[in-house]
Amino acid sequence: MVNRREVANVVTSIVTSLIDDNFNKSEEKMFETNVPGSDACKDGYRVGCRRIVGLDGCFLKGYYGGYLLAAIGIDANNGIYPIAYAAVESENQASWFWILELLALDLEIVSSYQISFMSDKQKGLLEAIYILIPNAETRRCVRHLHVNFKKASFRTKELKDLLWKVARASTPRDFEDVMDELKKTNQHMILEAKGKSILTMMETVRTKIMCVSSHVGGNRYQVECSPSSQHMVDLVENSCSCRNWDLTGIPCMHALAVIHLKDEFLETYVQT
């Protein structure tokens, strides 16, 4: 026997959007979006969570596709607190606008000066926030910024630690000091060039920011973009040790350096 209290707050509101089935010329409506909500989650956020909302989305792998959008909070123990989630047809400004409009009503966001939104800048999300909740603070997810750091070949632990130090700075002065420290790590790369003549200095800096390709035998090339970033490229296998070419079918930056060295056409190496 199910206790009524156990199910009372599972789902207390569902908002569904339907559209006309113009494709099949049918009078029936087609599903577009769905937002189930729990009053317990919403009340818990208003009473016991910090005024921060994290927003994110992911694509669905089911037969009908679509996207799952989610809003989470941070509780008193710095834990993730679920607020709401929604199934939508696509991730765009219209879907985020619809979700945020409902969220603002459910969370009773009267003054947008008192809430912050954290995201990785999904499609149309920032625009929707600026329109609906114009005075809210917006923040970037540091983990996603670090992923971009690594994609740009900035993979050292020193840079990672400084990035998090910047994110945790609580005053403008602390932020500026750590940013200066972060900039100095970049200057270390050209330290040896600063005391040289203009032409020699320019050539040294040029070699620091370029990818150098070296033939190592057969169809294999070693590409060095920095002392800490070296990868092997195989043009016959359409493969690079960074794995980006293997996963996307589009030549990565290391493969492009080799293709340019051989003076060949990029289109030849794009997998279809």
Residue 1: pLDDT band with limits 50, 70, 90: very low
Residue 232: pLDDT band with limits 50, 70, 90: very high
* The three-state (H, E, C) secondary structure of the chain, written as one string: CCCHHHHCCCCCEEEEEEEEECCCCEEEEEEEEEEEECHHHHHHHHHHECCEEEEEEEECCCCCCCEEEEEEEEECCCCEEEEEEEEECCCCHHHHHHHHHHHHHHCCCCCHHHCEEEECCCCCHHHHHHHHCCCCEEEECHHHHHHHHHHCCCCCHHHHHHHHHHHCCCCHHHHHHHHHHHHHHHHHHHHHHCCCCHHHHHHHHHHHCCCEEEEEECCEEEEEEECCEEEEEECCCCEECCCHHHHHCCCCHHHHHHHHHCCCCHHHHCCC
Q: How far apart are CA 9 and CA 215, in angstroms?
A: 65
Q: Which residue has the higher pLDDT, 12 or 132?
A: 132
Query: Are 133 and 109 a contacting pair, CB within 8 Å?
Result: yes
Query: Are 211 and 254 a contacting pair, CB within 8 Å?
Result: yes
pTM of the model: 0.55
Per-residue pLDDT for 192 more than 70?
no
**pLDDT tens digits, 110-119:** 766 778 898 8
Residue 210: pLDDT band with limits 50, 70, 90: confident
If you average pLDDT over residues 169-197, what whole number do you get? 78
Domain boundaries, the chain: 4-140, 145-189, 210-269
Per-residue pLDDT for 255 more than 50?
yes
Mean pLDDT is lowest, of 8-17, 93-102, 134-143, 237-246, for: 8-17
Q: How far apart are CA 116 and CA 135, in angstroms?
A: 9
What whole-number percentage of the chain has pLDDT above 70? 78
Per-residue pLDDT for 193 more than 80?
no
Instruction: Look over the chain and give the mean of its residue pLDDT values, rounded to a whole number.
Output: 79
Per-residue pLDDT for 230 more than 70?
yes
Burial class (CB in 10 A: 0-12, 13-18, 19+), 90: middle
What whole-number percentage of the chain has pLDDT above 90? 10
**pLDDT tens digits, 3-40:** 433 444 444 555 555 555 554 555 555 445 555 667 78
Q: Which residue has the higher pLDDT, 209 or 96?
A: 96
Per-residue pLDDT for 221 more than 80?
yes
The structure tokens listed for 220 are: 């294999």
